[in-house]
Amino acid sequence: MLEQYRDRNSLIHTVHARVKIIFTLVFILAVNLTPAGTWTGFILYFSILISIIMLSRLGIRYVLKRSLFALPFILSAIPLIFWGPEPVNHIWLLNRVQVPFSLVGLERCISITLKAWLSVQAAIVLTGTTPFSSIIEGFRQIHVPLILISIIELMWRYLFVIVDEVTRMMRARTSRSTQIGKPYHSGGSVLWRAQVTGNMAGSLFLRSIERSERVYAAMLSRGYTGEPLSVSSTNLSKKDQWITVFSCMMILAVFIFSLFTGR
């Protein structure tokens, strides 16, 4: 349930991970550089994205549902509508309350929302169509430091184990103390609950430190020397190279177009 990768038989799945990483980065960068209020530009980006989502067979509903995750953050851009850049007009609501309103601010707020939404969907397509190991392999190929890569690989390997552990701890807590039904006294004051949670966190860290010692011993016994192993990497095929060039050109074209049409 943690794994975001969805195994499908689609064109997008077969594209090399490096190509997808580069495309996602270019796409997000272009969307974010696009000036506020460039509605035609945003529509074009969206149509590119929608065609990729359709090709990837991830299911539009799946992507849309997951893309709502970024929504709560929009709260931080909403003040722009009222106290945004000049000119700020005042509007009477129901002839009673006067509300400040900035058209430029509204435009910027909607643009930020659209940018966030488009960017998050691009990232969902990347993680949905690429297994984590391939993404990591892609990052290795674009020269992210090896130590960081090995930390993240190990983290990924034990994440499932430790998430299971935390789930068990929380279930144990629920059954023993904090959420006992109404007629009984349910688990003490807020401070007490905080302390219990803190102890659980401490216990989790302790178990993890001990686990890491076992992991280290196991790695050592199998020939670990401290140097991360580098796996031979596959090169981009002709097809992958063409896809990279072509898709990035398409994004660039939309971006240049948006510079002309934006205000």
Partner 1 sequence: MLFSVVHPMHIPDGFLSVAVSIIMWIISIAMIAIALRKVKNELGDREVPLMGVLAAAIFAGQMLNFSVSGGTSGHLLGAAIATILLGPWTAVLVMTSVVSVQALLFQDGGVLALGANIFNMGVVGVFVSYAVFQLLQKAFGKQKWGLFVSGSLAAWTSIFIASLACALELAISGTSPANIAVPAMGAIHAIIGIGEALITLGALAFLYATRKDLFEKSSKKLNGNKGILIGGGIIAVVLAILSPLASSHPDGLEWVAEQKGFLEMARAAFYNIMPDYAFPGISDPNISTIVAGILGAVIVFGVAFGIARLEKHSATQE
Q: Measure the CA–CA gap between 247 and 64, rounded to whole angstroms.
A: 22
Nearer to partner 1, 91 or 155 (CB): 155
Nearer to partner 1, 78 or 91 (CB): 78
Shortest distance, CB of residue 7 to partner 1, whole angstroms?
A: 16
Nearer to partner 1, 98 or 168 (CB): 168
Residue 206 Cα to chain centre, angstroms: 29
Shortest distance, CB of residue 142 to partner 1, whole angstroms?
A: 13
Shortest distance, CB of residue 165 to partner 1, whole angstroms?
A: 7
Shortest distance, CB of residue 91 to partner 1, whole angstroms?
A: 18
Shortest distance, CB of residue 236 to partner 1, whole angstroms?
A: 18
Shortest distance, CB of residue 95 to partner 1, whole angstroms?
A: 27
Nearer to partner 1, 94 or 132 (CB): 132
Q: Measure the CA–CA gap between 37 and 209, rounded to whole angstroms.
A: 51
DSSP secondary-structure letter at 227?
A: S
Nearer to partner 1, 95 or 160 (CB): 160
Nearer to partner 1, 142 or 151 (CB): 151
